[in-house]
Amino acid sequence: MGYKTVTQCRVCGSPDLHPYLDFGNVPLANKLVTDGSSPDTYPLRVLFCKYCALSQLSIVVDPKVLYSNYPYHSSVSATFKKHCREMAVTIKGILNGRFKPVEVNDPIRGDSWAQDSIQHPHLLDIAANDGCLMNEFEEEGYFVSGVEPSSNLCEEYRRKRMQRIRLGSSMQNEFWGRSALKTVKSGWGIDVVTALNVLAHVDDVEEFILCAKEALRRSDELGMMVVEVPYARNLIEDNQFDTIYHEHLSYFLFKPLQKIFAKCGIPIFRVEQHNIHGGSLRVYASEYWYPVEDSVTQLLAQEEADGLHRLEKYQVMRFRAEKTMADLRDLLKRLNSEGKIVAGYGASAKGISLLNYAGLDDRFIHYIVDETPDKQWTFTPGSHIPIADPDHFSKIYPDYILILAWNFQKELMDKTRWHAESGGRYIIPIPEVKVL
Ligand SMILES: [Zn+2]
């Protein structure tokens, strides 16, 4: 079967869970197909916990099936790279005055880095992907280490690492948990733990946070954990139902996040909202030192006032998602009957999910382009649409480009300016179907 069924809320333990979205049985969005085989399908339903307002999937697919070879590379996106840069500078600012970093690329220092490392803050990035965030912290004078379950991404990091002299960095090929923690604890104490876009993928959230807290224990009182998750407010209010797929087990509002960190004894002292990935929450948590800021109480009150903690809001969202899928289907059927060529841009998990949920396949989308080499010359699971490199646009010229990775809409439209200049049109599917 390869999955287990959720019977109680993973944040508060309540068994009182209410279904509000059901996409039926669909394939795993990131398991691209290389031949004509039909991929396995799994049920996809979303449940709402009335007590802590956590939205969560009704099943948990075995993580080994999901993450053994992961096609998403953080560094491919310039927007994400810039976001990582800003984050490294912000966190350095919070720790300002405590550490005095020295030159990063200093070949004279050579082997003596171990003695010097005491002068540097230490970062641990959990689910480090290809090391995009680690690189930015290293530029700020941090010693960096990462833990990443996908072997292809670890290898890529190690390969690129050989090309430059580093202060000291390491990447463990493992899921975050007790075993990875043991290795981390045998090294230098950690000052900052970061975890971007991973908490929503984790079944045992409490254990994940407790292990991170323990990684910080050997550090001094400034140690903090910084976590980013896609903000469920955007899922609900901006109709981002295509961000629901098997990898995302939880859809966090601030309320359940605050509850789980408090339960783990590492309270959140600051929360920020960022535009990345269609809208994200960044929380800062620490056992000591930092006073709780107004942003925490304000955001909780705002969510409550906006009805986000009540089931009615979610039932409305369901109707909106169904209308968007019907509109997209109608539009593509019409374009197909007019003989138009439609190409997708961005074979992201959300794009692949959207096509499957809306029942759109290779009859309606001629091909999809994506910059990630691992994805090229494969097919989308279920809808079986070929994925090519961006040069393909010039081989089979599209009348319409469907922006599937809509969170990078501006970046993708800038890259294809030639399309607009020669009279081509764009389709933006979310929040409502638009033709530009
Ligand atoms: Zn709950």
Profile the chain (436 residues) by mean pLDDT over runs of 10 residues. 92 96 92 84 95 97 76 69 91 69 44 52 89 88 88 80 62 90 82 94 96 80 89 93 94 97 95 88 90 95 96 93 95 96 93 92 94 90 92 93 90 91 94 94
> What are the φ/ψ torsions at residue 46 (nearest 5 degrees)?
-115, 135
52: Cβ–Cβ under 8 A, 6 or more apart, which residues?
9, 11, 12, 14, 255, 256, 259
Distance 7 CA to ligand 1 centre (A): 11
Distance 259 CA to ligand 1 centre (A): 9
Centroid of ligand 1 to alpha carbon of 162 (angstroms)? 45
Task: Give residue for tokens 């961005």.
Answer: 346
Q: How far is the CA of 40 from the centre of ligand 1 (A)?
A: 30
Ligand 1 center to residue 328 CA distance, Å?
34
> C-alpha distances in angstroms, 46 versus 15, 21, 57, 225, 376?
14, 5, 5, 28, 31
- Cβ < 5 A residues, ion ligand 1: 9, 11-12, 14, 49, 51-52, 54
- pLDDT of 413: 93
Cβ atoms of residues 396 and 367 within 8 Å? yes
Distance 233 CA to ligand 1 centre (A): 16
* Alpha-carbon span 131 to 158, nearest angstrom: 9
Eight-class DSSP state of 24: E
What distance in Å separates the CA atoms of residue 389 and residue 188, rounded to the nearest whole number?
42
Identify whether the C-beta of residue 240 lies closer than 8 Å to the C-beta of residue 430: yes
| SS3 category, 224 | strand
In the reported structure, the alpha carbon of residue 12 is separated from the centroid of ligand 1 by a whole-number distance in angstroms of 4
Q: What is the pLDDT of residue 221?
A: 66
What distance in angstroms lies between residue 260's CA and the mean position of ligand 1's atoms?
10
Q: From CA 136, how far away is CA 410, in angstroms rounded?
A: 23
**Helix (H/G/I), strand (E/B), else coil: 320:** helix
Report how far residue 149's alpha carbon sits from residue 165's, in angstroms, rounded to the nearest whole number: 25
The CA distance from 30 to 131, in Å, is: 20
Q: 413 C-alpha vs ligand 1 centroid, how far in Å?
A: 40
Q: Which two tokens stand for residue 306?
A: 């906006």
